[in-house]
Every structure is written in structure tokens, then in C-alpha cells.
Amino acid sequence: MPVPSEAAKLGEASSYDEVFSIVKSHVESVLGLHRAGLTMGLTSLPASVGAFHVLGSNFIVLNKALLQRVNGEEPKEIVNSLLYMLLLHEYLHSLGILGEEEVRRTSAEVAERMLGKGHPASMLITQPMNRLFPYIEALHSEGQFEGEVEIVKGFDSKSYPFIS
């Protein structure tokens, strides 16, 4: 049974860190798994790559071009749902779940239990992104790997309770 306040929290989140805190909380509630100390970066990638986790590292990279385009076209709830889906997928990889099919299945389980099957984040997990965002096809020619990764400051801040 989804927790209604969890969907509201996600809809109101205003930073990468807030969305990621929700992801981590949901994974811990559903799977009992937790990992601290992740770093997030942004870079332009082809639309077919929403994000990736560098295997064996604490690094998650999200597609800046994709996020900018969706942010310009969609309401905050949908943008946060996309962030949730991308971060959940890569967080599961960082926890050692490597198979894509297993990550998709596990992502759907977490999102559906915590947010509900009809929530936009749950739907993003189970449907192709280009079906929900047909305009991202243009990113295939626009968004190429730019090489430089912008580090997001304050990401996974709850893992670092000290002031630096």
C-alpha cells in the first residue's frame, strides 16, 4: 500500500539532494539496504542514456541535457518523478544490483510500494521514456557526451552530518 505523504514529499522536493533522500529512504524501507557517501555529477549525454553509475565507485552521473529539456516542458511533479526514477535506478546499481532487468524490477517494486502504481515515477520506470516524453528524441542529435562533469554540491548531505 503506497504511503500518500511520500508522494507529496516527492512532489514538493526542491533539490537533487531532497529527491535522493527520498530514494534512499524508500530503498531502506522496502529492501533494508543503505549506502552513504555518493557523489552526483551532471553532463550532457545522448537521450538514450538517462544516467549511469561508475561501477565500483561512489559516483552517479545524470544526463544534464535530458533534465534541462524535461524541466523546460513539464511540471515540477513530473521532473521530480524523472529524477526519482533515474536516481533510484543508479542507487540500486551502487548497492551492487548490476543486472538491468533486476534493477528495473526492483525499482518498480520500490516505487509502487512507496508511491503507488499510478504515480508518475512508477510509470516512468515501467514505460519507455520516449513514449512519455516524445520531444526527447531531438536530444539524440543535440546531447552528446561533453566530457566535463559538473559536480553537484550538497548531494547526499545526510551522509555527512558535519559542517565543512
| Domain ranges, ordered by start, for the chain | 4-158
User: Does position 157 have pLDDT exceeding 80, yes or no?
Assistant: yes
Which tens digits make up the pLDDT trace of 35-79? 999 999 999 888 788 999 999 999 999 999 899 999 999 999 999
Q: Which three cell numbers stand for residue 159?
A: 551522509
User: Does position 159 have pLDDT exceeding 80, yes or no?
Assistant: no
pLDDT at position 88: 98
**Alpha carbon separation from 19 to 82, 107, 151, 162 (Å, rounded):** 10, 15, 16, 20
Look at residue 128 and give its three-state secondary structure. Answer: coil
pLDDT at position 143: 46
User: Does position 25 have pLDDT exceeding 60, yes or no?
Assistant: yes
**CA within 13 Å, CB half, 70:** 25
Which tens digits make up the pLDDT trace of 97-150? 999 999 999 999 999 999 999 999 999 999 988 888 888 877 655 545 667 899
Can you tell me the distance from the alpha carbon of 144 to that of 94, in angstroms, rounded to the nearest whole number?
A: 24
